């Protein structure tokens, strides 16, 4: 089987061309950026072992398994992360909350930051990479998730402090509390499409707001004066989260949209009360 025939077989499985190219590069041991090489070598023969591995991966991708789980890596905010089924596949949309976090920290020297439900460590590591002066802590209830985050931190040489905890349990006070918590409702029709990802990192009660409520309620006691709380949430939850923030006494409550124009995250600032 030639490389172009392998890609045609992937298309017949219903695998998107870009995904198929990345899977083919993966089994060939080449970098994800070598798509041009595939085009230049589309008449090359694919060795039998790689052909078998490629077609098996295409079958898994066609069944909905995230590409990042199949290749074992995902780039997030310019960082190469290792990911697997123990953690959520970090979405590019989540970079929106990292950009906002860096904005609110811009004028704060040596800021203290905590990332709640860190998963792969994506948000915490991105902030630490951009702000080497920051003291960044990251927590997760899952020991498996923390193992993934710890491996990423070690490999990237970033000194994020990781510990096992549920939200702000055992936390101190911070300039920024940031989180991408579970926010999908238990009966959401999109859940079957996410069956390969850890359910506990996705679902948060009947309306998807249980964990967001808990974090908003607890955060004021853990924020330094003028500190910020930033939360990712579902596309239709912006107004509900803003109401939670305002009811908890946060000032400057607002939201930000991702590159697709979808309201992706909301946040607010603790009043300067000392």
The confidence band for 98, taking pLDDT boundaries of 50, 70 and 90, is: very high
pTM of the predicted protein model: 0.92
pLDDT at 274 over 60: no
Can you tell me the distance from the alpha carbon of 43 to that of 94, in angstroms, rounded to the nearest whole number? 38
**pLDDT tens digits, 59-78:** 999 999 999 999 999 999 99
Q: What's the average model confidence in pLDDT over 10-27?
A: 95
Query: What pLDDT score does 139 carry?
Result: 98
Can you tell me the distance from the alpha carbon of 1 to that of 46, in angstroms, rounded to the nearest whole number? 6
Report the chain's mean pLDDT, rounded to a whole number.
Answer: 95
Output the six-digit token pair for 27.
């089994």
CB 117 within 8 A of CB 177: no
40: exposed, middle or buried (C-beta count within 10 Å: 0-12, 13-18, 19+)?
Answer: exposed
Query: What pLDDT score does 259 carry?
Result: 87
Query: What pLDDT score does 195 carry?
Result: 87
**pLDDT tens digits, 236-259:** 999 999 999 999 999 999 999 998
| Of 222, 212, 124, residue with least CA distance to 171 | 222
Give the domains, in start order, of the chain with CATH numbers: 3-63 (no CATH), 73-269 (3.40.50.150)
Q: What's the average model confidence in pLDDT over 159-179?
A: 97
pLDDT at 104 over 80: yes
Distance between terminal CA atoms of the chain?
69
Query: What pLDDT score does 228 carry?
Result: 98
Query: What pLDDT score does 193 carry?
Result: 84
Q: What's the average model confidence in pLDDT over 154-169?
A: 98
Q: Tell me which of 30-44, 88-102, 254-268 is least confident.
A: 30-44
Q: Tell me which of 39-48, 119-128, 156-165 is least confident.
A: 39-48
pLDDT at 273 over 80: no
pLDDT at 192 over 90: no
The dihedral built from the CA positions of residue 151, 152, 157 and 161, taken in this order, carries a sign that is negative
Query: What pLDDT score does 84 carry?
Result: 96
pLDDT at 269 over 80: yes
Query: What pLDDT score does 271 carry?
Result: 80
């Amino acid at each position: 089987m030639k490389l172009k025939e392998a890609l045609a077989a992937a298309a017949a499985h219903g695998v998107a061309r870009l995904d198929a190219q990345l899977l083919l590069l993966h089994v060939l041991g080449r970098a994800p950026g070598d798509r041009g090489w595939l085009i230049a070598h589309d008449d090359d023969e694919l060795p039998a072992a790689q052909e078998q591995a490629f077609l098996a991966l295409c079958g898994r991708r066609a069944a909905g398994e995230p590409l990042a789980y199949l290749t074992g890596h995902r780039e997030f905010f310019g960082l190469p992360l290792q990911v697997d089924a123990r953690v959520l596949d970090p979405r590019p949309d989540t970079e929106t909350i990292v950009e906002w976090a860096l904005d609110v920290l811009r004028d704060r020297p040596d800021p203290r930051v905590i990332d709640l439900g860190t998963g792969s460590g994506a948000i915490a590591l991105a902030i630490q990479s951009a702000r080497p002066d920051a003291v960044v802590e990251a927590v997760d209830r899952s020991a498996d998730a923390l193992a993934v985050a710890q491996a990423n931190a070690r490999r990237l040489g970033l000194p994020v402090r990781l510990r096992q905890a549920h939200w702000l349990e055992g936390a101190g006070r911070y300039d920024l509390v940031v989180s991408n918590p579970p926010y999908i409702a238990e009966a959401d029709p999109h859940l079957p499409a996410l069956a390969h990802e850890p359910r506990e990192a996705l679902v948060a009660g009947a309306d998807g707001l249980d964990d967001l409520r808990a974090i908003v309620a607890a955060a004021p006691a853990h924020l330094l004066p003028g500190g910020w709380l930033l939360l990712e949430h579902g596309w239709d939850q912006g107004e509900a989260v803003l109401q939670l923030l305002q009811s908890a006494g946060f000032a400057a409550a607002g939201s930000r949209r991702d590159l697709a124009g979808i309201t992706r995250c909301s946040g607010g600032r603790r009043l300067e009360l000392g």
